[in-house]
Amino acid sequence: MSSAARYPNSRRSEGVNWPDGSCVPVSTRRLRPQATFSDATCARLLKDADYDRAVDGIILFAAPFIGDVVSLPQPLGLYRVHDRNDSGFGDELNTQALHRDLQRFVARTEHLRRILPGYGYRSGLVSAEHAYFYRERRFYLAVAEDERISFASLSGLVGRLWRDKNPLRMKVSMTLFFTAISLLPRDRARKALAYRLGAGTRSTRGLIRALT
């Protein structure tokens, strides 16, 4: 994000859509006049962030609380998937990566909780364990480790999904997916999850093929 990007002087919000798709309720606040996302802001965010080597993720995680996030409708370039990329899980589920995702999310949330008072927030962050991303990844980890999926776990995840500000189509499709892998035999549930977390374009037809 350019250091020259400028944001409105004030904003009233009932929730913030995070990069991971969850929405965390926050307190209404007033931004400093003509606030900018500058190099100094980045340095402040990265201070004491030794829990994560993906520094771009730390900045993206905090950005919605510092200014308005603007999405461009057209792509400006291509992302190169390098040999150390771990965004996708491939054909096998990586339980170690899922554990890491959960631990990193908790660390990022607590880091954000510490620095937000400097930007005008006094309260408002939910606990990491109640956020949609955490519930989703914990659900995936249970499937990957062949744990029994309880009704409380499924209903808590679906409830969090529907309370967040996500498109209706996404809510419906993910509710069906979560319910399906809760009911499927464990080996097929793992195949479905591996397809969901794999790299590349996904579709209902592709999911069916992955299960056969």
Spatial contact of 27 and 123, defined as CB atoms under 8 Å apart: yes
Helix axes 168-183, 186-197, angle to 10 degrees: 150
Please determine, for residue 33, whether its predicted confidence score (pLDDT) is greater than 50.
no
> What CA dihedral angle connects 72, 17, 98 and 85, to 10 degrees?
20
Which tens digits make up the pLDDT trace of 179-197?
A: 999 999 999 999 999 999 8
Phi–psi pair at 16, nearest 5 degrees: -120, 125
Length of the chain: 212
What is the reported pLDDT for 84?
62
* Model pTM score: 0.73
For 145-168, write each residue's pLDDT tens digit: 999 999 999 999 999 999 988 899
